[in-house]
Structure 1
Amino acid sequence: MVITTVLMAKSDIRIRACLPGDEGALALVGQATFLETFADVLEGSNILKHCANAHSIECYRSWLADSRYKLWLAEISPGQAPVGYMVISPAELPLADISLRDYELKRIYVFSKFQGNGLGRRMLQEAIAAVRSFGAERLLLGVYVRNHAAIGFYTHMGFRKLGYRKFNMGGQECDDYIMGLMLRDSGE
């Protein structure tokens, strides 16, 4: 039996801004990627509770209707099946120096099968460009302290640890780092 690996070109996966009507795809991809990422790390019943609330169609529908939020889907050709997504919003993280000019990368997930080909970097660059156009000074995010791959990726992309928070994931208390990327010099 011969197994071949096909590396996808950047053009095979497109990143597009979401529109009303995308909430079903966002909820499905949100739930599936969260489960895939944390199934061997966190309690299954808590993951399912979290996904039922935090990744519901209603949640994504409300974000799509809120002009302060911006959402994207990554879709593979042919067929435009969603393989990842991301959400930015005004920052709501417990930092002493939080500002109205801070934005939060609330969600960024890609199915593991599509990781390692630059898609995460492309998605993050899209988010950075968007928040810069809004006049943001920092892009912040929360990341589970045991998600070493994500922490490594964010660090490689220039994010630094700024703080810490407790995160309720379906009734289970988790520890997150708060990380941030400066988008402009303090002298600007």
Structure 2
Amino acid sequence: MSATTITLQKVKPTEADALLAISKRTFFDFFGPLNKPENMEAYAVTAFTPQKIQSELDNPDSEFYFALINDQITGYLKLNFKNAQTEFQDPKAMEVERIYVSVDHHKKNIGKQLLHFALNMALQKQMDYIWLGVWEHNHNAIGFYQHNGFEVFSNHEFWMGDDRQNDLLMKKIL
């Protein structure tokens, strides 16, 4: 399996529509077959709105990056710092809230490049650790993060429509 080289580009506030499109598409491509359609739609009503994406882009403690191949968006990354973190708001930690790659670009090591970018960003910002949440049934992602030095340290529940689900919280000490 050879790596496809990507270009990373920080998402600008004016690119909210493109971010919304890749966010919704990648989320539905991955989680849609694993969840009831009505639960996916119930989640999407609040998670994938232009207003929510714009507010996330406007947050000075969050950063989004597009993964590009030949100027085409193939995936994206969301990093949270300080109070933008979804759980701990630890000023010496960085959260990787989202890493998504388009289905047609899986198996090209794009996720690995996005994660390594995040790790380098955390090191540059002199963070003590990097953390993320991953759905307990996403065994490929859990293995990927473990292979890259992350360990489970907690969990949290969330709702996908009327289905209570569980994320494993994983971190890597830097």
TM-score, normalising length: structure 1: 0.83
Mapped partners of 2:122, 2:163: distance in 1: 31
Match of 1:87 among 78, 84, 93: 78
Match of 2:94 among 103, 108, 128: 103
Give a deviation string over 1:93-128, Cα, whole Å, max 9, x none. Answer: 26xxx7321221111100122122211111111111
Tell me the C-alpha RMSD between the 2 structures. 1.8
Give a deviation string over 1:27-80, Cα, whole Å, max 9, x none. Answer: 111111111111221111111222232222222211221110010011221xx2
Mapped partners of 1:127, 1:106: distance in 2: 11
**Moved >6 Å (runs of 4+):** none
Mapped partners of 1:82, 1:171: distance in 2: 32
CA contact (8 A) 1:83 1:114 kept: yes
Identity of aligned residues (%): 25
Q: Which has the larger radius of gyration?
A: 1
Q: Secondary structure at the match of 1:151?
A: helix
- Does 2:10 correspond to 1:26? no
**What's 1:3 paired with?**
none
Q: Secondary structure at the match of 1:50?
A: helix
The CA deviation at 1:8 is 7.1
Q: Which runs of 5+ in 1 are unaligned?
A: 1-6, 184-188
Match of 2:159 among 153, 168, 175: 168
Q: Which runs of 5+ in 2 are unaligned?
A: none
Mapped partners of 1:25, 1:114: distance in 2: 17
Match of 2:148 among 144, 151, 157: 157
Mapped partners of 2:171, 2:48: distance in 1: 24
CA contact (8 A) 1:26 1:57 kept: no
User: Which protein is richer in helix relative to its size?
Assistant: 2
Q: Secondary structure at the match of 1:31?
A: helix
Match of 1:46 among 39, 42, 51: 39
CA contact (8 A) 2:3 2:110 kept: no
- Does 2:136 correspond to 1:142? no
CA contact (8 A) 1:104 1:139 kept: yes
Mapped partners of 1:73, 1:171: distance in 2: 31
**What's 1:186 paired with?**
none
TM-score, normalising length: structure 2: 0.89
